[in-house]
Structure 1
Amino acid sequence: MIEEGRALFLQIAESVEDSIIDGSLPAEGQAPSTNELAVFYRVNPATAAKGIAMLADKGVLYKRRGIGMFVSPGARDLLRTERLAAFADRYVDPLLAEARKLGLGPADLVDLVRARAEGSASATIERTPR
């Protein structure tokens, strides 16, 4: 689960985010403690605390004094919006740039993605006439 070359606290924060996005950690649900995360990931509790603090700073988690950290209402929507923007930047924008170079339009891309999603590894498309 731990990836070499990426800060451990970021990976821990992302793991908690994943649980919020997939619904296994719902709004108002109690987040794992820093000690639980430290044991699970076999890291120093300060490292886990840094990941949790990052999520609190983003407004994803909030602290209930003496009880622990909890998922903020709206955290799932916030994370989905943030990840959708990152997905578009990382994958969609380069895809569109390459499609333009190849002379492909939006309908061509939809056809290609649909064919690949349906399992046709050798999917090819005919260029849309311009």
Structure 2
Amino acid sequence: MKNLLDDNRPIFLQIKEQLEDSIIDGSIKPGERVPSTNEFAAFYNINPATAAKGINELVAEEILLKKRGVGMFVTEKAKEILVEKRKKTFYENYMLPLISEAKKLEISADELLEMIKRGNEE
């Protein structure tokens, strides 16, 4: 867990994203227990309901599974779900605007691909 939270964004979203990032990068594995809402609350000195909001969103998205009296655990398909969700967001937030600007500048698809390849090599 990161020690600092950004004051400019909702805390529950930051907790949710930290868990997502940890699942995607493999530092939290499928079947592994994640910190409880009370553990998050104590660590960040926040209200447990705030932490619960982020965690409950992950439960609703089938990223986490509640085991009553035991804790929250990463589902087997969590990483797959998160990667697909992030790819969709990446496409919408980065690729569509990139393609739109390329069209304005009359950059062909081949030129655009070449630029991406060149950027990837640098």
The letter for the 2-side match of 1:23 is: G
Residues in 1 aligned to 2:99 and 2:43: alpha-carbon distance in whole angstroms: 40
Q: Structure 2 matches for 1:1-130, cutoff 5 A?
A: 1-119=4-122
Residues in 2 aligned to 1:116 and 1:2: alpha-carbon distance in whole angstroms: 32
Residues in 2 aligned to 1:36 and 1:12: alpha-carbon distance in whole angstroms: 12
Q: Which has the larger radius of gyration?
A: 1
Residues in 2 aligned to 1:97 and 1:12: alpha-carbon distance in whole angstroms: 33
Instruction: Give the CA deviation at 1:108.
Output: 1.2
Point out the more displaced range, 22-31 or 3-12: 3-12
What is the TM-score when the length of structure 2 is the normalising length? 0.89
Residues in 2 aligned to 1:44 and 1:33: alpha-carbon distance in whole angstroms: 12
Instruction: Give the CA deviation at 1:115.
Output: 2.5
Instruction: Give the CA deviation at 1:92.
Output: 0.3
Give the root-mean-square deviation of aligned CA atoms. 1.3
Stretches of structure 2 lacking an aligned partner (at least 5 in a row) = none
Paired residue secondary structure (1:26): coil
Rate the CA distance shift 1:103–1:57 in 2: closer, same or farther, 3 A. same
Residues in 1 aligned to 2:21 and 2:96: alpha-carbon distance in whole angstroms: 23
What is the TM-score when the length of structure 1 is the normalising length? 0.84
Count residues in correspondence. Answer: 119
Residues in 1 aligned to 2:62 and 2:119: alpha-carbon distance in whole angstroms: 37
Instruction: Give the CA deviation at 1:73.
Output: 1.3
- 1:124 aligns to what? none
Q: Deviations over 1:80-101 (max 9, x none)?
A: 1011000100000000000011
Q: Deviations over 1:1-54 (max 9, x none)?
A: 422332110111111011111111111111111122123333211111111111
Percent identity between the aligned chains? 45
Stretches of structure 1 lacking an aligned partner (at least 5 in a row) = 120-130
